[in-house]
């Protein structure tokens, strides 16, 4: 009888010749060629204040839409099953919007969200505070991740160890079923994100002002139940699950380092999966590590440019969740 692992690996649909072709591609890029490619990719490095505002606004509009849908569901006489489904769906959509804010503060970390450099720092409360992330501490952590990608000094090794990601296949059910049921990722999020956010002393008055104003608005409008369904449950239960999968899918099973184009996985899913996991074109993570100065919204075009003009350069690409899981399982063979 075939296991889930066999089925996932079969779903990748790679013919033997295809894998051989991948193995023959160029994995090491000379400094001269790297300089040439980066120069050609500079055409995709255009930044925009207006588009940055649009991206941030889109996530808040999604949160607002989820709130309106949940409120309508609560006051409308619907069958209990339909009401439960609508609320659950809205909470997942809210969590996807929060993950979108995570992706945007990641861009701000690289000064690519807005063209005006200071905006990336000074408007961080819009992208970071709802998910308990400040830019200063995140930028320090993330710069070390880029510098020491997939080495022993990579700071992301800490959560990879906590989340058992080095044993993704052998501990699969623990990671994807048992731990979520016992809210392990919620605990991890509170311990390693929420508590440090409030105790690191960074922009503490700004953080307090943001949250006091938000709580005051909730109190004055008496929308605590709605706030719990639109924000509290999504951010503490669903968002950590989405984040854990995305973080795992970016690098698990890969050995490429900062100078390589195969240090991260480029994930090109359908629009629903992209909406939940990779809002704002965040899926091209392998390419991002090589040209972090290019805004995520241009990385699809940059990726296609590379595939067309440098077909022999080795990059990791995945077109579905199943294919990504298969690649992660293959790493433990």
pLDDT (tens digit per residue) in 159-213: 889 999 888 888 999 999 999 999 999 999 999 999 999 999 999 999 999 999 9
pTM: 0.90
Task: Identify the H or E element spanning 316.
Answer: strand 316-318
What b/e string do you get for 93-103 counting C-beta neighbours within 10 Å, with b at 16 or more? bbbbbbbbbbb
Tell me what pLDDT residue 59 has. Answer: 98
Output the DSSP codes for 31-68.
HHHHHHHHHHHGGG----HHHHHHHHHHHHHHHHHHHH
Query: Percent of the chain having pLDDT more than 70?
Result: 90
The per-residue pLDDT for range 276-316, each reduced to its tens digit, is 999 999 899 989 998 999 999 999 999 999 999 998 888 88
Please provide the average confidence, as pLDDT, over all residues in the chain: 89
Are the beta carbons of 296 and 284 closer than 8 angstroms?
yes
Give CA angle at 299 (294, 304), nearest 5°: 130
Q: What are phi and psi of 66, to 5 degrees?
A: -65, -40
- From 121, 14, 116, 103, select the one nearest 58 (Cα to Cα): 103
User: Can you tell me whether residue 318 is helix, strand or coil?
Assistant: strand
Q: What is d(CA 327, CA 257) in angstroms, rounded to the nearest whole number?
A: 18
Task: List residues bridging with 26 in a β-sheet.
Answer: 313
* Residue boundaries of the structural domains of the chain: 29-330
Instruction: Flag whether pLDDT at 34 surpasses 90.
Output: no
Q: What is d(CA 268, CA 265) in angstroms, rounded to the nearest whole number?
A: 10
The per-residue pLDDT for range 203-256, each reduced to its tens digit, is 999 999 999 999 999 999 999 999 999 999 999 999 999 999 999 898 888 877
Instruction: Flag whether pLDDT at 27 surpasses 80.
Output: no
Tell me what pLDDT residue 261 has. Answer: 77
Close Cβ partners of 121 (under 8 Å, ≥ 6 residues apart): 108, 135
Instruction: Flag whether pLDDT at 129 surpasses 60.
Output: yes
Section 140-168 average pLDDT: 90
At residue 262 the predicted structure's pLDDT band, cuts being 50, 70 and 90, is confident
């Amino acid at each position: 009888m075939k296991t889930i692992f066999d089925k996932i690996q079969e779903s990748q649909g790679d013919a033997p010749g295809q894998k051989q072709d991948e193995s023959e591609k160029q994995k090491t890029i000379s400094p001269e060629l790297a300089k040439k490619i980066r120069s050609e990719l500079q055409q995709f490095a255009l930044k925009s204040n207006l588009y940055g505002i649009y991206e941030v606004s889109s996530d808040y509009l999604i949160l607002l839409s989820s709130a309106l849908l949940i409120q309508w569901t609560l006051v409308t006489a619907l069958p209990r099953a339909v009401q439960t489904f609508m609320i659950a769906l809205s909470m997942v959509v809210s969590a996807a919007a929060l993950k979108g804010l995570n992706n945007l503060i990641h861009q701000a970390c690289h000064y690519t969200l807005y063209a005006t450099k200071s905006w990336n720092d000074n408007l961080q409360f819009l992208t970071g505070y709802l998910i308990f992330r400040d830019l200063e501490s995140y930028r320090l952590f993330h710069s070390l991740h880029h510098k020491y990608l997939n080495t022993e000094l990579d700071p992301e090794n800490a959560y990879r160890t906590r989340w058992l990601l080095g044993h993704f296949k052998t501990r699969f059910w623990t990671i994807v079923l048992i731990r979520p049921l016992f809210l392990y990722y919620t605990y991890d999020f509170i311990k390693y994100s929420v508590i440090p956010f409030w105790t690191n002393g960074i922009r503490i008055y700004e953080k307090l002002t943001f949250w006091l104003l938000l709580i005051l608005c909730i109190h004055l409008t008496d929308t605590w139940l709605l706030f719990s369904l639109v924000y509290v449950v999504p951010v503490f239960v669903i968002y950590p699950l989405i984040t854990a999968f995305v973080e795992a899918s970016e690098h698990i099973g890969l050995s490429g380092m900062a100078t390589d184009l195969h240090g991260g996985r480029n994930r090109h899913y359908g629009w629903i999966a992209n909406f939940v996991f990779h809002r704002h074109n965040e899926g091209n993570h392998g390419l991002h590590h090589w040209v972090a100065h290019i805004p995520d919204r241009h990385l699809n075009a940059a990726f296609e440019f590379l595939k067309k003009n440098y077909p022999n350069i080795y990059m990791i690409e995945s077109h579905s969740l199943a294919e990504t899981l298969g690649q992660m399982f293959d790493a433990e063979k």
